[in-house]
């Protein structure tokens, strides 16, 4: 099983979260299953998201897609997200 871990700061979690939720169908179409959304204990606007990925190449293409970049900007994501592909041990 492979996972995609994404971490990024947002301007305002309460603004970001509803827009993240609306985009669920696009994530599902890219073969991503939402596992967990975490907020940093020291900075509640620093978000870490864990997805299960059916196909890591499709997930990577989705994560880099212009549509997602635009949606993230609208939701207040700041800077370029850190992305990590993980393999289950």
CATH number of the domain to which 62 belongs: 3.30.70.100
Domain that holds residue 25: 2-87
Residue 20's contacts (CB-CB under 8 Å, 6 or more residues apart) are 37, 75
Q: Please give the model's pTM, rounded to 2 decimal places.
A: 0.89
43-77, pLDDT tens digit by residue? 999 999 999 999 988 988 888 899 899 999 999 99
- What confidence score (pLDDT) does residue 63 get? 85
pLDDT at 26 over 90: yes
pLDDT mean over 78-88: 91
CA distance 10 to 20: 11
């Amino acid at each position: 099983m492979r996972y995609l871990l994404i971490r990024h700061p947002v301007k305002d979690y309460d603004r970001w979260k509803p827009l993240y939720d609306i985009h669920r169908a696009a994530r599902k179409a890219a073969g991503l299953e939402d596992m967990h959304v975490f907020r940093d204990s020291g900075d509640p606007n620093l978000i870490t998201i864990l997805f299960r990925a059916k196909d890591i190449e499709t997930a990577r293409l989705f994560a880099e897609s212009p549509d997602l970049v635009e949606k993230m900007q609208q939701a207040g994501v700041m800077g370029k997200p850190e992305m990590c592909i993980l393999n289950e041990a």
